[in-house]
Chains A and B, each alone.
Chain A
Amino acid sequence: MNWNIVLAATIKWVFMVLVFGLGVAGILTWVERKMSAVIQDRVGPNRASILGFRMLGLFHPLADAIKAFTKEDFVPDGANRVLFFLAPLIALVPGMLAFAVLPFGPGDNLVIANMDSGIIALLAITSFGIYGATLGGWSSNNAFAMLGSLRAAAQMISYEVSMGLNLVGMFMVFGTLSFSQIVYAQGHLLGGWLPEWGIVVQPLAFILFMAAALAENKRAPFDLPEGESEIIGYNVEYSSMRFATFFLSEFFEVVLIAAIVTVLFLGGWQIPWLDPKGIAGGWIRVLQVGAFVVKTLFVIWVMMLARWTLPRFRYDQVMKLGWKIILPLSLLNILVTAIVLAML
């Protein structure tokens, strides 16, 4: 066993997952509150301060973390204690693992595991996220949580199908399952000027994937498992850090989905017309990683806008949308892609 590889992977994982992923997820709790405040004509969080410095409320995530760690860890009577304790972790860990296959920049050094079948691995890992919500609700011994976990299971399984199918078109166009290769391929120019980003060659898949990803992610307008005005949510019995872990895993998944959308549809680290082969290195490479981060943040911003603008679907409407509209359209997209590719 080559320890250098293990060491390198660990260092990369710490930077990409703990620093970037969790860091952004933590700050997103602040961003979401501040952004909703701007949309809703409020001031938003601005009270937490260190030595009188308020920093626009940026210390609130820190204060939240301290609060979450020091609150009582409540376990309801009749709960299945083992699953109740495990569920938040099951929700959080798959998202962290999935980051391994996403390239942050060109070359082998800016991706933890440059797998040939990266997309398949990613879909396999993220599927585990369902268990967190489902087991968490089921083990709470609470009727509301039970309803929430049932909704979560049904919804996430339904939309995973469409999510996967929308990527099939991408495989066909780019002819690879590796995220790194797909990003390189998106550097090609169509007709000499238009970057061949996923959103350009597969616009329908982009829209459908975004919708399916929002649903998979339990974000508004598909936040039925939480549905705080109806069934309060699968995590109703959770408190303290266990609740915070669920919360964090949701934001972490937001970052993950945004990163996937960026890599697959928005050209990943590609800056249009600038070093599409990723061989320049130096400052251009820093810029390219920066481009990846900026694009990810942009997708997150779009997802948050949707969250604070749209009302929630009803359970049957979500199922109908998933199976009767998004799934057939995804299949149609694959068919059209195949025909076009065969004709070219």
Chain B
Amino acid sequence: MVDELRPEIPAGVLVEDGEMVLNMGPHHPSTHGVIRLILTMDGEVIHTVTPDIGYLHRAIEKIAEKTPYYTFMPFTDRIDYLGAMFMNHGYAMAVEKLAGIEVPRRAEYLRVLADELNRMASHLIFMGTMTMDIGAYTPFLHALREREKINDIIEALCGARLTYNYIRVGGVSFDLPPGLTGQILDFLDGYEVFLDEFDRLITYNEIFVKRVANVGIIPADMAISYGLVGPNLRASGVDYDVRRDAPYSVYPELNFDVITGDDKYGSVGDAFNRLRVRIAETAQSARLIRQVLQKMPTGPIMGKLPRKLKLDPGKDAFSRVESSRGDTLFYIVAGGGNSPHRLRVRTGSFTALSVVPEIGQGVMVADLVAIFASTDVIAPETDR
């Protein structure tokens, strides 16, 4: 009776004598979303980690094949609900390239503004959940308080707080409402104070540094061979950012620094650097937002669009955006009707999860939680 209730251990997991199998997830406080990690362990020390994904698979790529180009936009929100704006942006850019649609400059600036606000929100969630997984609950709520202000700003911008559907093919859906610029600047001023407080409260807290520094080190060559992207890659010391190295939108006109990991507190590529890089990136996002608000041109926010998008079958296009979880690629092949033949989305979480079994060997359970949290894997993006 008891053994019947035990979850099945997949065939790929080999259990040796004296090992305990621990089924971490799919609903576990620190496997964000629903990801299952099957651990074989000896006491507290982990021998192997086997991720089991697919609990949030919604066949989004398949849905795209049945949905008209314009109408698919709300689905992209659901690919990564913490970075919905990037998914909107990436899909919109891919369709625009495919159909040769021009985007007005004001719309491009609004896109970057929305992107960077979203990046801050997403990284704030990361900062909060990572510190919470290490056992500090207070920084989590402080981070969410700041994110709440971003949610308010984005709500004023487009009416939605999580799945924005703001960036549309050809432009954006709403213009900047009056008074929002002041609200954003107020938020950015307060954000500097918050970052300072957060650093003093947790980032450089001795216990915290001991817990995450030198834990889960991903060397640069391993990061590249596993295809890590975004902050995870940069924390390993690889200086690569799609916004700078494969520029899109109006990023070439703006100044920002690409943050990479250093070995001031731990070593390059450890969990501490993955946190530090993201914290520093939110400051860069704040810098970008200030520039965008300064340079914001006037003009229309929506380009000229055909009422129904019909494209030559077989024509393809791809776009890349630097989302909060890294290089995200949208590849579209046009189909016969007004929907794509195939849409492929390449996201950062999947590869980030694939490196966890490698660096999770021989660590303790608490370290695995820190490693998993530091890679910023979220389930919907892994499964799509």
Q: Do A and B truly interact? A: yes
Given A231-B365, A317-B210, A311-B141 contact (CB < 8 Å): no
Number of A residues contacting the other chain (C-beta, 8 Å)? 33
> Which of A37-45, A55-63, A203-211, A247-255 is the contact stretch?
A37-45
Judged by a CB distance under 8 angstroms, whether A216 is at the interface is: no
Across the interface, which residues of B come within 8 angstroms of A220, CB to CB?
Answer: 135
B30 CB contact (under 8 Å) in A42, A230, A313, A316: A230
Across the interface, which residues of A come within 8 angstroms of B134, CB to CB?
Answer: 229, 311-312
Determine how close the nearest CB of chain B comes to the CB of A172; give it in whole angstroms: 32
Given A77-B2, A143-B20, A229-B30, A221-B135 contact (CB < 8 Å): yes
Q: Are A311 and B365 in contact (CB under 8 A)?
A: no
**Interchain CA distance A78-B2 in the complex, whole Å:** 6
Across the interface, which residues of B come within 8 angstroms of A225, CB to CB?
Answer: none
> Which of B83-91, B151-159, B200-208, B233-241 is the contact stretch?
B200-208
Judged by a CB distance under 8 angstroms, whether B193 is at the interface is: no
**Interchain CA distance A93-B57 in the complex, whole Å:** 49
Across the interface, which residues of B come within 8 angstroms of A40, CB to CB?
Answer: 137-138, 141-142
**Interchain CA distance A317-B205 in the complex, whole Å:** 15
Given A40-B141, A41-B145, A144-B22, A311-B131 contact (CB < 8 Å): yes
Chain A facing B: main interface SS: loop
Residue of A at shortest CB range from B132? A229
Residue of A at shortest CB range from B134? A311
**Interchain CA distance A311-B134 in the complex, whole Å:** 6
Determine how close the nearest CB of chain A comes to the CB of B19; give it in whole angstroms: 12
Q: Are A313 and B5 in contact (CB under 8 A)?
A: no
**Interchain CA distance A308-B139 in the complex, whole Å:** 9
Judged by a CB distance under 8 angstroms, whether A108 is at the interface is: no
Interface residues of A in 206-237 (CB under 8 A from B): 220-221, 223-224, 227-232
Q: Are B138 and A39 in contact (CB under 8 A)?
A: yes
Q: Are B369 and A230 in contact (CB under 8 A)?
A: yes
Q: Are A309 and B44 in contact (CB under 8 A)?
A: no
Determine how close the nearest CB of chain B comes to the CB of A31; give it in whole angstroms: 16
Rank and list the top 4 A-B pairs by shortest CB-CB distance, nearest first.
A312-B135, A311-B136, A40-B141, A78-B2
Q: Which residues of A contact B (CB under 8 A)?
A: 36, 39-42, 77-78, 141, 143-144, 147, 150-151, 220-221, 223-224, 227-232, 308-317
Mind listing 17 A-B residue pairs with CB under 8 Å? A36-B138, A40-B138, A42-B141, A78-B2, A147-B22, A227-B366, A229-B29, A229-B133, A229-B369, A230-B366, A232-B28, A308-B137, A309-B136, A312-B134, A312-B207, A315-B366, A316-B364
